[in-house]
A and B are shown apart, each in its own frame.
Chain A
Amino acid sequence: MLISLFGAVESGVIYAIMALGVYLSFRVLDFPDLTVDGSFVTGAGLTAISIVNGVPPVLATVLGAMAGFIAGCITGVLHTKGKINALLSGILMMIALYSINLRIMGQPTVSMLNESTIFQQLEAIWSRLGIDAFFNGILTALGADRVPTTWVIVIVMIIVTLGIKFLTDYYLKTEVGLALRATGDNQKMIRSLSANTDSLIIVGIGISNGLVALSGALIAQHGGFANVNMGIGMIVIGLASVIVGEAIFGKRTIAIATIAVIGGAVVYRIVVTLALQVDFLESGDMKLITAILVIIALIAPKMIQARKEQKRRLRKRAELSAQVEEA
């Protein structure tokens, strides 16, 4: 149980990078971008095949992320220059990427079990530091009977993901970033303020998919393989993370919204892990659970709000009738 929760947090933090990408397209640019399902695999596949062919894992990861960036840019071009509806541009790119990913990988699954991935390299450095023994010592003292094999992934990934979060926060506050946000808010206005909305959308969707592909590249190395179908439903998981995160942690400022997205991604993984522990649920039920989770996250805040509002009104009515009775 503890181990599987630990695993959930571990992969949740990696998937959070994908969720940040989805936040950029879906929330900031108001662009429902389905490229994600394809670009996640592009990142995973290109990185895996590169590693298998002897490219250093760090470089392979960067290559994967860049491929995702380019895929996103193409979606942006289809939408802005080709004047194709946003949803459709993403769908077209998604199915195009399926074939491209297969070409890149050469086969449906690329295994890295015999290769050294970025995480194994980190682990090699890490094991000399003795930090694992320290954390596991605490866990054992707290009464855990089984402890995680390594803390490196979760700690390094928290640092990397938070780093990306802070970069995103900063970027969205720069002059370019403000224009990007306005593009998702009021295109006519920002164009009249001399911003080239087409290039902002192209670059914005590019960055979004770059993050998605980076996440894919890391997930592949975490799991030890890339599969051409591993991106199916990824956009929904990204949306679930964004929506669940916002429902739990709020979205008042950008800094809060981005940390909420990360939190949402982790919570999502935990919910899935817990659901899998339930006897009658199978892994095939995950998509249904995801859908239900998103529905709850969308409806619950509104219902809570409506409840509060109703209580407030009832109280006011009660006060008023009390006053009338007194008089």
Chain B
Amino acid sequence: MLNLNNVSITFNEGTPDQKNALQRINLDLQKGEFVTVIGSNGAGKSTLMNVISGNLSPDVGDVFIDDKKVTFLPEYKRSTMIGRVFQDPMAGTAPSMTIEENLAMAFSRNKKRRLKRGVTKKRKDFFQEYLTTLNLGLEDRLTAKVGLLSGGERQALSLLMATFTEPNILLLDEHTAALDPSRAELIIQITEDVVKKFGLTTLMVTHNMQQALDLGSRLIMMDKGQIILDINGDKKRELTIEDLLQEFKRIRGEQFESDRAVLG
């Protein structure tokens, strides 16, 4: 489904600021796999997401989606296949437009946009039905401007917008980081539900180790632009936070540095 072949990215090459954000990354995702991604700040997780989405193109290496080489396909073309939710709740929606208009735009993601009405009666019913699954009462506020929603409500909406067209790949980059614990919990719940419902191939970045262990079928750990740990199946199920920290120490010969990561 998704293949990364020897992908490397260096920022500010040849300056004192040089950063090897990704170093020879190889990654193969099967259809329906749900991968959680952990790693300290600056490990390259967001860069990895951006390379997959087409927001960045790799210096060397290739990206394949469904065996099709997409390395140089621009972001807007690739996004017919990719659903994304960003860390910033402001980033995933258009604030001055209404809930139904935002949903209509997401609905057009994998289709050609035409000169036909975006919000039709039929679509409205469909949106309403979907929003009901969120249990946030958004189904009664279809014509409210999205700018009026709380961060959690927006993130739930973004999640719905990213998933309801059943993308080939779903990218979640710390999409609960800006929310309070109970809202974060809710968003995680919704994430689990939709991923399961559509069997979406998913990459989810999180700083919450427990979350990374509880969710998904596979876990990868990144450090300094490399994937240093890749665990799936039964082994992942038995994994504990303690194991992860031990493992990091064994591989890197140092303490896991991000304290944010140990929290939760």
Contact = CB atoms under 8 A, between A and B. Distances in A.
Interface of A: 170-171, 173-179, 181-182, 185-186, 188-197
B108 interface: yes
A303 B108 CA distance: 42
Contacts of B101: 178, 181
B6 interface: no
A196 B76 contact: yes
Contacts of A186: 90-91, 93-95
Contacts of A175: 104-105, 108, 113-118
A255 to B, nearest CB: 13
A305 to B, nearest CB: 18
Contacts of B105: 175, 178-179, 182, 190, 193, 195
B170 to A, nearest CB: 12
B80 interface: yes
Nearest to A177: B118
B106 interface: yes
Interface of B: 53, 75-77, 79-80, 82, 84, 86, 90-97, 101, 104-106, 108-110, 113-119, 161
6 tightest A-B CB contacts, nearest first: A185-B94, A175-B113, A194-B79, A182-B94, A178-B118, A194-B80
B114 A193 contact: no
A317 B235 CA distance: 64
Contact of A181 (B90, B93, B97, B113): B97
21 contacts: A170-B117, A171-B115, A174-B115, A175-B104, A175-B108, A175-B116, A176-B114, A178-B97, A178-B101, A178-B105, A178-B118, A181-B94, A185-B95, A189-B91, A189-B93, A193-B79, A193-B109, A193-B161, A195-B105, A195-B113, A196-B77
Contacts of A191: 75-76, 79
A173 B124 CA distance: 14
A120 to B, nearest CB: 35
B197 to A, nearest CB: 20
Given A185-B95, A192-B79, 9 more contacts: A173-B118, A174-B116, A175-B108, A175-B113, A175-B115, A185-B97, A194-B77, A194-B109, A195-B108
Contacts of B86: 188
Nearest to A175: B113
A174 B118 contact: yes
Given A189-B94, A193-B105, A173 B117 contact: yes
Nearest to A182: B94
Nearest to B107: A175
A10 B44 CA distance: 62
A194 B110 contact: yes
Contacts of A176: 113-115
Nearest to A181: B97
A186 B109 CA distance: 15
Contacts of B161: 193
A286 B86 CA distance: 49
A313 B98 CA distance: 31
Contacts of B91: 186, 188-189
A174 B118 CA distance: 5
Nearest to B110: A194
A143 B106 CA distance: 59
A194 B105 CA distance: 9
Contacts of B77: 194, 196
B203 to A, nearest CB: 15
Contact of B76 (A173, A177, A194): A194
A173 B117 CA distance: 6
A215 B45 CA distance: 52
B118 A195 contact: no
Nearest to A188: B91
B199 to A, nearest CB: 21
Nearest to B147: A185
B75 A192 contact: yes
A190 B94 contact: yes
B191 to A, nearest CB: 17
A179 B112 CA distance: 12
B204 to A, nearest CB: 16
Contacts of A181: 94, 96-97, 101
B115 A178 contact: no
A192 B108 contact: no
